[in-house]
Structure 1
Amino acid sequence: MKEQTFGHGAIGFRHLAQELGLGLQVASERPVLYLLPEPRPLLSPEGALLLFRPEHLWRYRGASGLLLPAPDPEVEAFARKEGLGLALYPPWLAREELERAIALRLFQRAPGMALASLLDLLLKLPDRPFLEVLHQATGLALARVAPWGEVLGFAGSVPPEHPKEPGEGRGWLALEAGEGLLVAYGEEEALGRARGVLEVAARLLKVRALERSLERMREESLGGALLEGLILGEADPSRLFAFGFAEGVEWVLALVEPPGVPGRHRLAEERRREATLELRRRAGDFLDRLGVPYLLAVRGNRVVAMWQVHSPKKEAEALLKALPLGSRLGYSAVHGDQGVQEAYREALIALKAARPGEALSFSGLDPVAFVLLQQSPEDLKALVERYLPLSPKLLKTLEAYMASGSAEEAAAALHVHPNTLRYRLKRIEALLGPLSHPEVLAQVHLALRARSLLLG
């Protein structure tokens, strides 16, 4: 009998059930693309063969069929209504044996033809079933790992920690796959046999990432133009609806700055531009994975990001983690209205107070920093010069004393004798005034805070 196949070289549910000798309850010609042995949070399980009884049947309308150990009237009615297949397997049959038989039938039907069928199938599958199919075809545990370390998907039993760079080691192989890595785990011999397939699969993932990046760039360019117009007050806020920001949706706006590039020459300017574009790319990757409405724009060497928010602090810190080391981020309070200009001002104030590697919220700013950040850098510099006319050694002594509040603790922090510290404090008071006076303390505190803000 000639084997009945469908798109991607897949076999139909009815034919698979007959080949395995199972009791066919509901016939279906839907192609079986891969086996899903247990529930997974798949968004679109098209072509999946289910080896379990779903709790929420409606989520699996796109599956090819179900295999159960006993009749189930509700599942049978659902299968007939939605056009899924249904077959019964003997309850005494070990599930592991059934899974092996199905995998053998799906991916090793014809020597010399399985690889071509597999690659044709992988080309057309969504990302999550992609890993399931590759796992079942190779017998290897697989994980997709984002550049910032988050596991984007897995199939099989994978370890809790994964490689961060392409390479190979004892029992694992990590390949560059566009947005992150494709990591395979298994015996050395199995990894060797599957290496060619894994390399092709990684290239397919890389091509997909490039395609998604191009599509996202087109969408982001439209959103970026709108965001720029909203910041300038030249765009109608109601247009946000077209990008998923429905009325009442809560959002934050963040300003992100890459690590500084020293120098005034042309090469330094090119590096700054490259750093900003890389910042935008990584921010787009992260927000795209977050799965919420967002807008991105570039202003100078900073990236502006606006997104629908659920957990502001957690999401802002995760975004910063996805960016190059040493970037800093300031984000606005949560807004539920259309005050984009106000949110931009809040984010700018928070960014000025943030240090490299820090994500700082406008809501988390202390009152002193809030007041000082309303001033220009020139005003802050003048404040420091006016109230801190000290040598570097005396300035360091003053900072230690203000931080500790006692001469003994400050002396220990500076590794000097307490008498030495008291002598320095007398010299400081001769220049600034008695540190016991409230107005002198207020001036010193403001000047020290302004200095820290200037240093970033």
Structure 2
Amino acid sequence: MVVRARASVGTDKVEAMAARAGERVPGPSPRTRAAIARRLAAASGQMTTAAVGEMEARHPWFSELSAEERSWITLVAQAGIDGFVRWFSEPEDEGRGAGIGVFGTAPRALARAITLQQTVELVRTTIDSVETQLHEVMPRGDRGHLQIAITQYSREVAFGAAEVYARAAELRGAWDARLEALVVDSVLRGDTDETVLSRASTLGWRSTQSVAVVIGPADDSGAARPLEEVRRLARNRDLDVLAAVQGDRLVVVLGGVVLVDQDAAVTQATHLVGAYGPGAIVVGPVVEHLVDASRSARGALSGLRAAVAWPGAPRPVGSEDLLPERALAGDGHARRALAMDVHGPLAAVNGDLLETLTAFLDSGSSMEATARALFVHPNTVRYRLKRVQQVTGFSPTDPREAYVLRIALTLGRLQR
């Protein structure tokens, strides 16, 4: 008697360990199993009613769901209990994936109606209720086998719930990526209407001012995921971001109060360089709203095409810093900007500034040669050159800025 009792205890321990490991343990004979399954099926309706009642008692949010959503959950609970009956009655079935069928009875909308955490709570409540009912409505001789079986089956249901929500998240992520690509494409095409703004808001865009577009080569090495990297880096700097890969280009739309001007936008874009491939990265001018972002995109695209003409350009570089190259490449906006914003103010002040600047550039940037050509003192030349910098924002004594001034003078004369 003692030996038999010890053997029984050892068997229980082995069965419990196997159940925890997710393995199917040797159960009753097929005839006994079929008999237990029939008794279990007869009690399935009572178990479902008890499980739904337990959900209402344990979880206050369950009562706040609509009648339709509660009916979906009831269907899932009923499918889970019926699935357990079928699963128990088929000893040759390993039960892999049994939990997927449980959630197949509910529409996809259920995954949006309740969270994954709430689903876990409902699964736990249903399993607890079923275990309680097994001890109340099933004969004592059936309870041991059913206890092991429900432990194994609940594991499959848990994995099934995780897979359902993983698939839903994957589909939602794919849809968001397509929607974001559509918004970025609309920005590039200059088609940013109310529909595009609504889509951007759905994607989390909040900025109502200060928007800039950054365009550069996409990283095709496969070593990084550029879109995820851009979003992570932008979030770290409290910037709104929309990003998409279009062919061999990575287009990023940035928004935030810190983008006060193009210099600030270039500074922020510096932190995103790691997401781009090798090559020039151009930051468009800062505009006031997402509706106007196409203007920033136009400047960035023009600068990207012309950036090859300035091998020593910083990375990233502002599109306004590429005005000479853009003008030579045929960009009408750049030509007008140089003629009106650089040459125009000089011509409006007085003729001495234009004359002095022309003489300075023609003399190889020599103060003394310029003074001799104009019959003035070198200090007068220095004063006038400082005035040129104050009026235009470009210093004639800096080689790069002197090049900008030279192109502006030429375009201004042509326009006049």
Between Structure 1 and Structure 2, the one with more strand by share is 1
Q: Is the TM-score greater than 0.5?
A: no
Comparing both chains, which one has the higher relative contact order based on Cα–Cα distances under 8 Å and sequence gaps of 6 or more?
2
Larger gyration radius, structure 1 or structure 2: 2
Between Structure 1 and Structure 2, the one with more helix by share is 2
Q: TM-score, normalised by structure 2?
A: 0.32
